[in-house]
Amino acid sequence: MEQMISMSINLHLFIISITVLLALYNLYATKSIKDEVVYINRMKYIQPQYLTLVSAIIFTGITVMAVNLFVIKPSLIVMLLGVFIMLFTSIKKHMYRKISNTNSVESMQTFRNYVKKKYIGDIVLLASVSAISLVLT
């Protein structure tokens, strides 16, 4: 049983680290790609991968909860809040993308600024929630 708990937690942390790497790539693409059409097309392919990883974080978190017999701990509440914040900001990013126009420099700059804030926030959120939950466990 201990091996299953350890494996579930390690898988959860591994997926979190992959998500952080993809968020770092998104930040790099936001700063380095100057052409708006290329940038938007790149985001069309990256965003589903990012949301899939967030879903995998949720799934492995539920697996860890199931192995621990669904005991509600403070670390679980912190993790749930973190995931809801990530999902909310992802939905908001999608809404910004829908209203932004690739021909308008101002709207694309607003979108890029939000994307930078979102991914920096996600990286900080993932790191802090992981650290807090390791301390609270």
pLDDT block averages, 10 residues each, the chain of length 137: 84 93 93 87 88 92 84 87 92 87 83 93 93 83
Ramachandran quadrant class, 70 (left: phi over 0; alpha: psi -120 to 50; beta: rest): left
Write down the pLDDT at residue 88: 93
Predicted local distance difference test score (pLDDT) of residue 7: 87
- Distance CA(83)–CA(57), nearest Å, equals 8
HSE value, Cβ hemisphere, 13 Å, CA-based, for 20: 14
Q: What is the pLDDT of residue 71?
A: 83
* Helix 105-136 × helix 2-32 angle, to 10°: 160
Number of domains in the chain: 1
CB 70 within 8 Å of CB 106: no
SS3 string, 1-46, reads CHHHHHHHHHHHHHHHHHHHHHHHHHHHHHHHCCCHHHHHHHHHHH
Quote the pLDDT of residue 99.
84
Say if CB 90 and CB 46 are below 8 A apart: no
The reported pLDDT for the residue numbered 65 is: 85
pTM of the model: 0.86
Q: What is the pLDDT of residue 86?
A: 92
Domain residues for the domain of 87 are 2-136
What is the distance of C-alpha 17 from the center of its chain?
A: 10
pLDDT at residue 98, rounded to an integer: 85
Contact 15, 70 (CB under 8 A): no
